[in-house]
Structure 1
Amino acid sequence: MAATSSAGDDGVRRLDEPLLRSLYALLTEASVSKAAGKLGIAQSAMSRHLRVLRQLTGDDLLVRAGNRMVLTERAQALAAPTRRILADMSLLTSQAMPTSPRELRLSFRVATYDFLPKRFFADLVERVNRQAPECDLVVRGLGSHFEHYRQLADGEVDMVITVWPELPAHLRASGLLSEKLVCLMRRGHPLAGGDMTLEDFRRARHFTSLEHVPGQGSVIDNQLAEVGVPIHTAVRTQFLSLAPAVLAATDLVFTTGRLLAEDFAREYDLAIVPFPARIAPMRYRLVWHERTHKNQAMRWLREEIVAAARALAQRPPD
């Protein structure tokens, strides 16, 4: 009877925050000992939490496969909603920002692509370090298939800097920058000395960014398609920082925004040539989820990102 009573006590326990945190640790670590270490609790306590979680979910969650533990299908399906619930719970206690950013103790997570100059990120880091020294800034890449939109919804990232114009209805956005497209190449390139025509551009071999959505191309691919200019891409990569060295050593052409082109041109003494046709400018936007819209700490960071972008835009051309 005593054993039945104990099981009953566990069975009526509510799914509270400690249990949710234990659940997420178990789902991410797939190990009782590692999950306990991650949360700084005893392994015996984590084992008790796992027993309760199994009763509450009606699933084993972790099962043995050979000499290791693996997640069940049900456990795998619980990872995203558990992460989202924990992220939403954190907003309940962090909605109001302290009187000064110096009192913040947060990790801000921004997903972006390296299509903005390094000095933009340097300025942003300086602003955060100076005003909120106890906070840290995580800058991560954008995933394919618009994965970053799901990451915003699930609380994996706090905001995104993107150039894609289409946004789901549940996301909010603010304009950061708008700049003209230019072509970047080595100074000795045959097209660097005169007036490059659209036909010259079409015949050239190009360095471009990796497709954001396989089969749809990059934003610039789509812009070029609008003016009827198919191009021969010789190198496509998500690491745009490779561009200066590659351009300096080849006759490839890189089409990008003016600010990044100027950054690269200073680094490798490259030539910047106007784009040979009328084309839509690059428009950068800061995007965030409705769930964090009223969070004061997130609002403060958004304002700092906008301020860093404006400072960059006001810098006179080289």
Structure 2
Amino acid sequence: MSLPDTGEHDRRLDESLLRSLHVLLSEASVSQAAARLGVAQSALSRHLKVLRQLTGDELLVRVGNRMVLTERAQALAVPTRRILADMSLLTAEAGPVEPRELRQSFRIATYDFLPRQFFADIAERVARQAPECDVVIRGLGSRFEHYRQLADGEVDMVITIWPELPGHLRAASLLTEPMVCLVREGHPLARAPMTLDDYRRARHLSSLEHVPGQGTIIDAQLAELGVSVHTAMHTQFLGMAPAILARTDLVFTTGRLLAEDFARQYPLAIVPFPAKIKPHRYRLVWHERTHKNQAMRWLRGELTAAARELAHRPRS
């Protein structure tokens, strides 16, 4: 692959230059950026020279034995990403892509409220079908941060359980599962049917709030029941939950699939939630600009298929 010739006197900023700029800002390395784009390092160096002329800034400078971004370059990262994302709205891809020919990063924002098997399945699917691609899984951040991430092109799609959705975003259902309680084996609440009063009096383990002072999605569901609980421990890392539950009398309320995953790791008991409560509804969300992008459409299909397989996996 070769880059179009952009001579030193050609001062037009085109898509090829923008893509070179985007990858250079992401990698902060000419050699690594060239490898990611699949072009010769000398060709990308020529693009960098033109970009320096167009921006009036060095963009990349050497500090010790490595290259770092200038302040101007850091400021250009978000608008460059957004411009490239917006440009995808101008063209429609005629037909389906061949995953094996793709060479890109897929960026998903989510939280670890789905079982490990789901993420392992996604990793296996991408590695087998699109071996030149990589997947970046990052946290959701605050409750509405992922809307900005999608708008700015920082992430390609989001998996969330929050129901709010602005009009410029698209969504599809991934999973619906009942809520359950998870406690250690031998816990007093695991010996007999748990009542709502039992649940209210217990000490609880919970995830952190997405917006301070507004509670979690489970807090909102409990408020609809007129129930408040004493949360003795909050954690942003749900992977800690099974070990904590196994050594305490705390109660953890979550979806059935994650509870079953944790119960396979530690001596834990799954207890039905003691009242009628809305199930967890996981949704896959993406921006309008990537709706017709064939690579993103392919990945959305794989995420949906992985979720379907997880939902129909035999109970152990």
TM over 0.5: yes
Work out whether residues 23 and 53 of structure 1, in 8 Å CA contact, stay in contact via their aligned partners in 2: no
Q: Deviations over 1:179-230 (max 9, x none)?
A: 1100001012121111211111111111111111222121111111111111
Q: Which of 46, 50, 53 pairs up with 1:51?
A: 53
Output the CA distance in 2 between the equivalents of 1:47 and 1:132. 33
User: Aligned partners of 1:250, 1:110: CA distance in 2, in Å?
Assistant: 33
What is the CA-CA distance between 1:49 and the residue it aligns to? 2.8
For 1:57, the equivalent position in structure 2 comes to: none
Q: For 1:43-97, what per-residue CA distance to the aligned partner results, in whole angstroms no more than 9, with x for missing partners?
A: 787455323213xxxxx697x9xx998526xx76543222111234467688355
Q: How far off its partner does 1:19 sit? A: 4.3
In structure 2, list runs of 5 or more residues that go unmatched: 1-7, 35-40
Q: Please tell me whether residue 148 in structure 1 is matched to residue 160 in structure 2.
A: no
2:134 counterpart letter in structure 1: D
1:295 to 288, 293, 296: 293
Deviation at 1:102, TM superposition (A): 2.3
The CA distance in 1 between the partners of 2:210 and 2:14, in whole Å, is: 39
Matched-pair identity in %: 69
Match of 2:305 in 1: 307
Cα distance, 1:25 vs structure 2? 6.4
The answer (yes or no) to whether the contact 2:173–2:282 under 8 Å persists in 1 is yes
| 1:137 maps onto 2:139 in alignment | no
Q: Is the 8 A contact 1:97 1:297 kept in 2?
A: no
Alignment check: 8 A CA contact 2:21 2:48 kept: no
SS at match of 2:213: coil
Structure 1 residue 261: Cα displacement: 0.4
Aligned to 1:4: none
Contact 1:160 1:288 in 2 (8 A): yes
Equivalent residue of 2:188, what SS? Answer: coil
CA distance in 1, matches of 2:23, 2:96: 29
Correspondence for 1:194? 192
Aligned mate of 2:107, from 109, 112, 115:
109
Match of 2:4 in 1: none
Which residue is equivalent to 2:3?
Answer: none
Alignment counterpart, residue 181 of structure 1, candidates 176, 179, 182: 179
Secondary structure at the aligned position of 2:276 is classed as: coil
Contact 2:88 2:293 in 1 (8 A): no
Aligned to 2:71: 71
More helix by proportion, 1 or 2?
1
Counterpart amino acid of residue 153 in structure 1: A
Query: Structure 2 vs 1, CA of residues 39 and 125 (structure 1 numbering), >3 Å: closer, same or farther?
Result: closer
Q: Secondary structure at the match of 1:191?
A: helix
Q: Label 1:128 to 1:22 Cα distance change in 2 as closer, same or farther (>3 A).
A: closer
Asked whether the equivalents of residues 85 and 289 of structure 2 are also in contact (C-alpha less than 8 Å), the reply is no
Whether contact under 8 Å (1:19, 1:53) holds in the other structure is no
8 Å CA contact 2:92–2:293 kept in 1: the answer is: yes
Question: For residues 276-295 of structure 1, what are the structure 2 equivalents within 5 Å?
Answer: 276-295=274-293
> TM-score w.r.t. structure 2 length?
0.82
Q: Distance in 1 between matches of 2:224 and 2:280?
A: 14
CA drift at 1:139: 1.8
Residue 212 of structure 1 aligns to a residue whose secondary structure is coil
The letter for the 2-side match of 1:279 is I
1:17-36 equivalences under 5 Å are 17-21=15-19, 24=22, 34=28, 36=30
Map of 2:266 onto structure 1: 268
Extract unaligned runs of 5+ from structure 1. 1-8, 55-59
- What's the secondary structure of 2:231's corresponding residue? strand
RMSD over equivalenced CA pairs, Å: 3.0
Go from structure 1 to structure 2 and tell me whether the alpha carbon gap of 1:53 and 1:19 turns closer, same or farther (over 3 Å shift). Answer: farther
SS at match of 1:172: strand
Matched residue type, 1:109 = R
User: After the TM superposition, which residues 243-262 of structure 1 pair with which residues of structure 2 at under 5 Å, given as runs?
Assistant: 243-262=241-260
The residue type paired with residue 300 of structure 1 is: W
TM-score (norm 1): 0.82
Q: CA deviation at 1:254?
A: 0.4
Alignment of 1:229-240 (within 5 A): 229-240=227-238
- Residue 279 of structure 1: how far off its partner (Å): 0.8
The verdict on how the C-alpha distance between 1:247 and 1:176 changes in structure 2, with shifts beyond 3 A counting, is same
